Amino acid sequence: MAAAHAKLTGNLACVMATSGPGATNLTTGLMDAALDRVAVIAVTGLKPRAGMHYSEFQDVDQSRLFAAGGINPSTDVPAPEALAPLLRDAISTAMTRRTCVHLAIPVDVQAAPSPIQSEFCAANANLRIAPTHVDPETLDAVAKHLPALRGAGGFRRIVIAAGLRAVGAGRAITRLAEMLHAPIIYRLDAKGVVDETHPLAFGVVGVHGKPGLEAAASIISTSELVLSLGVDDNTLLLCNLAGLQIRPMIEFEPDACAVVTRYKADFTVIGNIGDACDGLADRLATMLPQHGEPGEPGEPGEPG
């Protein structure tokens, strides 16, 4: 539930469990949070420090267990004085890297007096990470680039792909898609980002690692440019079966921490994705009086 909370809200989520089976039962959920790149902190208990490693009851090396699965950091808190800085660093890592982290706190450390003032915290972290506006020069460059893709019958085959970080930007995404006559597909974690009854909504891609719907698969295979909006893994959108990029991409992310440099992007737009889509649509409206030529459903703007 913590991973789902983080996905739905975009905020840091916390899950707590006892030592032993309480901690080991978290394994699948923590792996899910790490692989989906959402900010989650898991806090588990530990036996008192004096009783570790020689008495079997609920004595599981859970930090090593989670670390082996890719949870980093996954740390035991060695002393009361270490709790605050370790907690601070874990939360910072979870929020800036959008990942899952873990702290195990022994019972006697939990009961010890706090060595710091209660007001100690890192405030407004999200405001410090995310830019307050989208760079207008970048939007200008993208707006000039897109009309260059127009053929005699309208825009070339542009596809808009939405991921988890585009949730909440559905109205702006739909507006941009209508202007470009571009189909919209989305990853499973962004299902519902746009009205799925809209004629340009073509369903989910990425179910069980493969395109989930025939229409979505066909759109990807024939696309000539991908607008990637907050998508965590663009492999299915950009690559051939050998895993090599064969399609150009323009990527949109809410902040630079979310940018993954695995694939080449013609442009990278950083900032609120809804604002970026609206800003791009506003610019295209002044450059394209007729908003492009309409294409057939499923084949938006195919050159004649």
Note whether 190 and 163 are within 8 A (CB): yes
Mean of the per-residue pLDDT values for the chain?
84
**Fold classified for 2-128:** Rossmann fold (3.40.50)
Q: What is the pLDDT of residues 149-197, one digit of tens each?
A: 665 455 578 999 999 899 999 999 999 999 999 999 998 888 899 999 9
Residue 53 is predicted with a pLDDT of 74
Residue 40 is predicted with a pLDDT of 94
Residue 265 is predicted with a pLDDT of 94
CATH 3.40.50.1220 domain range(s) in the chain? 131-287
CATH 3.40.50.970 domain range(s) in the chain? 2-128
Q: Distances from the Cα of 194 to the Cαs of 27, 88, 167, 272, in angstroms? A: 32, 36, 9, 16
**CATH class of domain segment(s) 131-287:** alpha beta
Residue 141 is predicted with a pLDDT of 94
Tokens of 296: 């057939």
Residue 120 is predicted with a pLDDT of 56
- Structure pTM? 0.70
Q: How many angstroms separate the CA atoms of 239 and 246, rounded?
A: 5
Q: Positive or negative, the Cα torsion across 287, 151, 173, 237?
A: negative
Residue 302 is predicted with a pLDDT of 45
Q: What is the pLDDT of residues 50-65, one digit of tens each?
A: 777 776 677 788 888 8
Residue 113 predicted with pLDDT over 90:
no
Note whether 170 and 194 are within 8 A (CB): yes
Residue 171 is predicted with a pLDDT of 96
Q: What is the pLDDT of residues 199-248, one digit of tens each?
A: 999 888 875 445 556 777 888 888 999 999 999 889 989 998 888 999 99
Q: How many angstroms separate the CA atoms of 219 and 78, rounded?
A: 54
Which tops the pLDDT comparison, 276 or 209?
A: 276
Residue 115 is predicted with a pLDDT of 74
Q: What is the mean pLDDT of residues 273-302?
A: 70
Residue 61 is predicted with a pLDDT of 85
Identify the CA nearest to 219 among candidates 297, 304, 303: 297
